[in-house]
A = this chain, B = another copy of it.
Amino acid sequence: MRLAPTPEEQLFARTARELLAARCAPADVRAGFSPDRWRALGGIGATGLLVPEEYGGLGLGPGSDGHGPGGQHLGGQRLDEPPLGAQALVALTEEAGRACLPEPLLEAAVAAVLLGGLPKGADLLRGLAEGAVTVAVSLPAQDPARGPGPVPASASASVPASEPAGQPAVAHAAYADHVLVVTEDGELREAGAGPRTPVAGVDPNRGLARVADGGGRVLAREWEAAAGKAARLGAIGAAADLVGAAAAMLERTVEYAKGRVQFGSPIGERQAVKHRLADVLLAVEFARPVVARAAYAYDHGLPSAARDAAMAKVFANEAAGKAARGCLQVHGAIGYTDEYDLSLWLRRVWALSAAWGDSTRHRAAVTADLFAQDGPSPSCPSR
């Protein structure tokens, strides 16, 4: 039994962190999507983690042992024990959250799962691995912990009455080069050239847009199983992103609380501030192993993998929500201004905790599993 990042995984994360430290400062985040940064991320292998090696990716997806001879490892470095796909992904998306990265790194990984070994997807996969193209992904509303199934009535109800049915807003679709859609009847399509209508959202870097129905080409049919896996990977990757964002907000807020003097001493001396930030740290530190376990369970196909993914998103949502509320409150009015950098993470957290399944949906999945007729899925390890 071992639950901690290996030196290899730490190197992996550090490589990404150094790149983002150089190229993704708050001013860069405000500028939004950057093709240069995306290509740089491609250069270190981050955009092609799960892309098969024959298409230029790292080939860390399941079914690959990560040791293929042609394997180009992160940052060009050869790792003895590269983490498997989801575990590599969470190391990266935690850094993306920490840096508030605008680009759709998570979507690239999800797209690689969706496209799998489909020959029709080869060009897109090659482009992703290079960081030459971006992709947005629209999955049918589903319970990510249960795998795909019929769309619940609540999903269609989530489209405001004034909007065209069947056109939910898709993240990053406002600018992505490609949009992959899994339809409600299980077709994997690449959206056609129809209009994409931007939709205002709390985080401008999410690039929400509605994608016109119809047109485009069908890449595969009966693709429900892959869509379910993709949704789970999305939830896990988003969870790690949220944990990274929460940690970044906490760090900034601690610095602020040390320096901000009111009533003759730093506000960070006072218990109300201390205990609130201690609670944020608690939430972050206890979410992290939960996310790590979900990634491990995904990579190894454990029986509890679906529930573990749901649990990871619940814990990450909770930690990030607590961080957002607590860090804003400790900052006071300055945190409430758009020009202060904290707002970048606040927006990210508010958006991402609603996306890839909100807490309500994921908690319901855990509840359903725990109260199932035949008992909960066995945890790993045996209990």
Contact = CB atoms under 8 A, between A and B. Distances in A.
Interface in A267-281: 270-272, 275
Nearest to A269: B271
Contacts of A270: 271
A192 B332 CA distance: 66
Interface residues on A, range: under 10
Interface in A156-177: none
SS class of chain A's interface: helix, strand, loop or mixed? helix
Contacts of A275: 271-272
A303 to B, nearest CB: 32
Nearest to A273: B271
Nearest to A270: B271
A378 B181 CA distance: 48
A38 to B, nearest CB: 46
A270 to B, nearest CB: 5
A275 to B, nearest CB: 6
Interface string A245-273: 00000000000000000000000001110
Contacts of A271: 270-272, 275
A280 to B, nearest CB: 16
A270 B275 CA distance: 12
A190 to B, nearest CB: 43
Contacts of A272: 271-272, 275
Nearest to A275: B272
Interface string A265-302: 00000111001000000000000000000000000000
A10 to B, nearest CB: 36
A264 to B, nearest CB: 15
A271 B270 CA distance: 7
A270 B269 CA distance: 11
Interface string A51-69: 0000000000000000000
Interface centre among A270, A271, A275 (most CB of B within 10 A): A271
A222 to B, nearest CB: 40
A165 B333 CA distance: 60
A180 to B, nearest CB: 39
A271 B275 CA distance: 10
A270 B271 CA distance: 7
A271 to B, nearest CB: 4
> Which 6 pairs from chain A and chain B are nearest by CB?
A271-B271, A271-B272, A270-B271, A272-B275, A272-B272, A271-B275
6 contacts: A270-B271, A271-B271, A271-B272, A271-B275, A272-B272, A272-B275
Interface of A: 270-272, 275
